[in-house]
Amino acid sequence: MIIQRVVLNSRPGKNGVPVAENFRLEQSTIPDTVQEGQVRVRTLYLSVDPYMRCRMNEDTGSDYLLPWQLSEAADGGGIGVVEESKHNNFAKGDFVTSFKWPWQTVAVLDGSLLQKLVPQLVDGHLSFFLGPAGLTGLTALLGIKEKGHVSAGANQTMVVSGAAGACGSLAGQIGRLEGCTRVVGIAGTDEKCSILVSEMGFDAAINYKKGNVAEQLRELCPGGVDVYFDNVGGDISDAVINQMNQNSHIILCGQISQYNKDVPYPPPLPPEVEKVQKERNITRERFLVLNYMDKHEASVIQLCQWIREGKLKVGTFTFNPWALITFAAFQSMMNGGNIGKQIVSVSK
Ligand code: NDP
């Protein structure tokens, strides 16, 4: 059977910004028949995520991420429909997902890599399982629960960087649902900041590309910052940490501003910021959503309930047609083109 796939064509280098030529769209073939234990799936949606930048390097710098191989299909989160199954758990027509979905139109996968989806949980919006009802939502919810120390009635102020992105836009809303009294976002355009306030329930938002972040933070968080959901690292995080209260908490979710640089993860703080962190006893523990697999099922049910009840706004989903090549979506997401979760729609 003839299929289309996106393969890694070249590596950008550890300190390089990815370019379109790093990927190649090509025709390929897969077997016409499936073997015992296998399932043939047609791809519906693919997820593009910041961690994929690390997979473009020969060495990802991380023990849980494998590098993509040159001339092999890239892979990541995906959703599809079963076309043929020789695995007991799946039948033709089932909707399924996997973290190891190849960037190709049709694939034969080992059934053990797949999980069945229940579309009713998200009122049929299947792509939500790659965003607010999937790893993205889990990252926001479990990050806050495991590392945020949010407590209803404690009058806490939360700041979220990367606030208009997939995790960030949910983190602010969940922080509020869990009990924070003030939520302030930091994002890269005026449009994003306006949506955060008008649609996502943030109290205020700062465009970090305009004006002085530290000054605006001082004004918008007069009682200091108690919880910081950090998606970006770098200068933005340094400014936030400087305004954090004694015994406050950083949820170290990601450091996207550092992903095109050859630095260890998590990147060390500048000495003067580290001094503040230590003196004020601010926790900054690494958070990895995959370390909480035992809590995923119950958390997905919670997220789906909030979405159905309208308590969690899922924002705009950006869909790019497959023909425009999945990389364009990845590059756009890395450069701030998305509001909410960036998804690639491969087929109807
Ligand atoms: P997003 O949807 O947030 O997309 C990335 C966003 O990052 C862009 O839209 C852009 O928005 C912003 N950005 C890009 N470069 C910079 C920069 N130099 N400085 C500030 N902002 C920048 O992606 P996700 O929600 O999927 O991921 C958010 C973070 O969460 C990432 O760091 C990711 O690695 C991490 N993550 C961590 C997980 C974990 O288990 N710990 C799991 C999943 C994600 P803008 O216009 O605002 O610049």
Q: What is the pLDDT of residues 236-261, one digit of tens each?
A: 999 999 999 999 999 999 999 998 88
Atom of ligand 1 nearest to the CA of 234: 19
Q: What is the pLDDT of residues 226-237, one digit of tens each?
A: 999 999 999 999
Q: Is 276 in the pocket of ligand 1 (CB under 6 A)?
A: no
Q: What is the pLDDT of residue 323?
A: 47
Q: What is the pLDDT of residues 12-46, one digit of tens each?
A: 998 888 888 898 889 999 999 999 999 999 999 99
Rounded average pLDDT over 144-151: 98
Burial of 334 (0-12, 13-18, 19+ CB in 10 A): buried
CA of 285 to the centre of ligand 1 (A): 18
Residue with tokens 């849980």: 64
Q: Which of 99-103, 265-269, 314-318, 344-348 has the highest mean pLDDT?
A: 99-103
| Angle ∠(149,153,156) on CA atoms, nearest 5 | 55
Rounded average pLDDT over 204-223: 97
Q: Is 188 in the pocket of ligand 1 (CB under 6 A)?
A: yes
Q: What is the pLDDT of residues 44-86, one digit of tens each?
A: 999 989 999 999 999 998 888 999 999 999 999 999 999 999 9
Structure ipTM over 0.90, yes or no: yes
Task: Answer yes or no: is pLDDT of 172 > 90.
Answer: yes
Helix, strand and coil in the chain, % to nearest 5: 35, 30, 40
Atom of ligand 1 nearest to the CA of 187: 47
Tokens of 316: 């705009």
Quote the DSSP letter at residue 53. Answer: H
Predicted structure pTM score: 0.93
What amino acid is encoded at 239 in this protein?
A: A
Which residues make beta-bridge pairs with 4? 27
